[in-house]
Structure 1
Amino acid sequence: MFGPWYSATMLALESQTVIGMRLAKIASGSEAGRAEAQRMVSEKVDAAIEAADMLLAGGSPDAVIARYREHVRANAERLSAL
């Protein structure tokens, strides 16, 4: 409806919440923080591979952004439940 710019902007805004929650957890220095750092790195690699696969299969950039937003939403829900 609003085009790719809206989705990309929303991804950037929504990601800031997750980044803040992750940084707070990592900064605690706890075992949970270390696990979150490892999870974050592996999720980034997995998401990049998934995005490349989607694009190579003919997916649109909008579809890639929508999928990233799903990942961000899931992380926000998981991190805020703690």
Structure 2
Amino acid sequence: MYGTWWKNSMSVAMLAFEAQGVIAQRMMLVGLGGPKVQAEMNRMVSEKLLAAAHAGFQIATGASQEAVISGYRRKVRANARRLSKP
């Protein structure tokens, strides 16, 4: 019983830490300015809308909390990798 709760809690905590890293990377990009900023901001908004819709669909079709959380973490990690490239 507590195993699933603990695992999901740790996954949500990790998602929060990973998301903060992506937010920091995006803020640095905004601070630097340039043509990439507008494209990144547009991408960020469209990704958030798509991710929320996907999570809603997953929940509506009976997916587990773990599946929803891991989907978000996968997207956040992909953004972190993409933003860390020069």
- TM-score of the aligned structures, taking structure 1 as reference length: 0.93
Tell me, in whole angstroms, the C-alpha distance in 2 between the residues paired with 1:29 and 1:14: 23
Query: Which of these residues, 40, 45, 48, is aligned with residue 44 of structure 1?
Result: 48
Tell me, in whole angstroms, the C-alpha distance in 2 between the residues paired with 1:38 and 1:28: 17
Q: Rg: which structure is higher?
A: 2
The residue aligned with 1:13 is 17
Structure 1: gaps spanning 5 or more residues: none
Identical-pair percentage: 44
Give the structure with the higher percent helix.
Answer: 2
Within 5 A, what are the aligned runs for 1:67-82? 67-82=71-86
Structure 2: gaps spanning 5 or more residues: none
Counterpart check, 1:23 vs 2:27 = yes
Number of matched pairs: 82
- Residues 51-71 of structure 1: CA deviation (Å, up to 9, x unaligned): 001111110122111000000
When the two chains are superposed, the root-mean-square deviation of aligned CA atoms in Å is: 1.1
* Structure 1 residue identity aligned to 2:46: S
- TM-score of the aligned structures, taking structure 2 as reference length: 0.89
Greater length-normalized contact order (CA 8 Å, ≥ 6 residues apart): 2
* Structure 2 residue identity aligned to 1:69: R
